[in-house]
Amino acid sequence: MKENESAITDELIVRYLTGEASPEEAMAVQDALTDLKFQSRFAALQATWAATHPAKPTHHVYAAEAWLAIEDQLMRRRLKKVSALPDEKQTRALRYSHRVFRIAASLLLLAVAGVVLYNVIASKDSDEALTYVNTQERVQHVDLPDQSVATVFRNSKLSYAADFNSHHREVSLLQGEVFFNVTHDRKHPFIIHTAVADIKVIGTAFNVTLKGDAVEVSVKEGKVQVFTKTDSTFLEAGVTGVAQKAGLIQTQDSVNSNAWGYATHRFVFKDTPMREVIRDLEKAYPYTINVSDQAINNCKVTATFENDSAENLLNLMAESLNLSVTSSGGVYTLEGEGCP
């Protein structure tokens, strides 16, 4: 690799990809792309950047403008050297310089046109090569080709390559929440990309929630690895991790397994206040649950439910607490005296 190519850092390449590089830096990267080794390095970093920032808008580097800025600098240097020559040689040198710059500029503009066309086609092909799962007011179970299952919560968005298979297992969570039950495969890790952090597993069950500038990962079974640009940690069953956009990952040795009841339809309550029970049930079922007296929210529930309908589940709780249940148009109401 040439000396000027080895001086190009990963940070500079990222600035180039995001359109934040200066004209001189952009031209330096483009010059380096003539080297095959640098092309491989550039392509790898570009792929990583695109995968970890799927929702980030593309920024374009305008090479023609970069060339004009550098042309001006080069011409100034050339003129400084030419001024020291005799008049006749100055004239020939200036004519030669202008001719060289015109040819180079023409070639560069052709190259830019080719790059723009390639990016348009590649972008179109990329969009067509992705499968999107965009839920609205319903939960959707997605059977992936590797036998893994993604249960996509309401108002969430997930994408994966159309050629997703047992050897290439990567998905992107663009919005909302998903519960993953991943088929075990030690040789081919399953990777979830988000705009905040990435999660890598070889086979486990866990819940991922994208909340603005944070990603929450709660592990039901097995072990997962969460990593950002500046931090990385392993989470085991029964542990929750929250990754911030700033890069920090915080963990706590507990999970709320009822939070992913929308996927498993299993609920375990141990002296749980009714207000929390209602919160978890409303998340899992497309119903509204009201109480006729706020004192009912103080009642505590100890029970385990699995694959029960919302109506049956509420009736069982009401019976144990000496309450009654009425329903109308998808709205359930718990009635009774409540608890102190």
Tokens read off for 26: 């952009």
Crossing angle of helices 10-18 and 36-52, rounded to 10°: 60
Does the pLDDT at position 105 exceed 80? no
8: confidence class by pLDDT, cuts 50, 70, 90 = confident
Q: What is the mean pLDDT of residues 151-165?
A: 92
- Taking the whole predicted model, whether its pTM rises above 0.85 is answered as no
Tokens read off for 173: 């969570």
> What per-residue confidence (pLDDT) applies to 50?
63
Q: What is the mean pLDDT of residues 231-237?
A: 93
Q: Please identify which residue in the block is written with the tokens 């993604």.
A: 150
Q: What is the mean pLDDT of residues 3-32?
A: 73
User: Who has greater pLDDT, 300 or 73?
Assistant: 300
Q: Which domains does the chain have, with CATH numbers?
A: 3-128 (no CATH), 131-255 (2.60.120.1440), 265-335 (3.55.50.30)
- DSSP annotation string for 186-211: TTS-EEEE-SS-EEEESS-EEEEEEE
Report for 55-64, 119-128, 236-245: range of highest mean pLDDT: 236-245
d(CA 94, CA 329): 85
